[in-house]
Amino acid sequence: MDTTSPLAGTDAPQRRERSVDRILQILEFLHGHGEAIRIGALAKALNAPRSSTYTLVNDLTQAGLLEISPEDSRIFFGKRMYLYGLNYIRENSLAKRARLEVDRLAKETGETSEFCMLQSGRYTIMHMRPGNRPFRISSAVGLQIPIPWTASGRLLLAGRSRVEIEELIAEEDLTLPDGRRIDIDEFIDAVGKARADGYCLTRGLVDAVTQCLAAPIYGVDGNIEATICLVLPVDLSEHQTDALRERLLQSSRALSSR
């Protein structure tokens, strides 16, 4: 007589799901952390068992997704992750076109240009080309910044309800690097204004010497999928800023789906 329970073995898929979730946590943490880390410190940061963390890191290392430094045993992304990223850039239509447009915009205007999207609740720089000013304003590709700190963030949330916006933004994201506090009501009003204006300009949020001018990139569904922006000195004249806005809007229209 077969006494095997019909539920026998059903915990195996659950274990696999938990392993996949833990792998994603590891990759997401490394991306946000931005530098190599020892496995013990990684397990502590994730509040995960050291034994299972070591096992997963070993599996990811053997797969080429992570690499362990022979000098100090710190782990970080491996070459295969880099190759996967190159595939995305080559095959994703918007990413390909946006890279070309960002490079063209920076060359024509002489200003730092960026292509940005939302990733894991953060404004993320997908591609960047620095300008040619003696004092260069630039940010790192892959850098993730709290949404309220940016002009692009206001556009990327356009069309979302107040509840959706409040759920997406962590309380600490409303505090700027210099300690100033962004009022949530004013921020939500700014999101609505950015949607209505079709662009967004913010001054002196992350630092006192720059302003950010962002324009939306619309997807086929009519929603804002990404942004293209210029990071500018804060002391540009109104005439200069207006001219750059018109040029930026040309780029946004060229990249948006019709």
Looking at residue 204, its pLDDT comes to 87
For residue 130, what is the DSSP state?
-
Residues 178-207: tens digit of each pLDDT: 899 999 999 999 999 999 999 999 998 888
4 in a domain, yes or no? no
pTM above 0.75, yes or no: no
Q: Same domain for 187 and 141?
A: yes
Number of domains present in the structure of the chain = 2
Q: Same domain for 28 and 122?
A: no
Residues 81-99: tens digit of each pLDDT: 888 877 877 777 888 899 9
Q: Same domain for 113 and 240?
A: yes
pLDDT at residue 16 tops 80: no
Looking at residue 1, its pLDDT comes to 45
Residue 22: helix, strand or coil by DSSP? helix
Q: Same domain for 69 and 96?
A: no
Residues 36-74: tens digit of each pLDDT: 999 999 999 999 888 888 999 999 999 999 999 888 889
Between 140 and 136, the more confident residue is 140
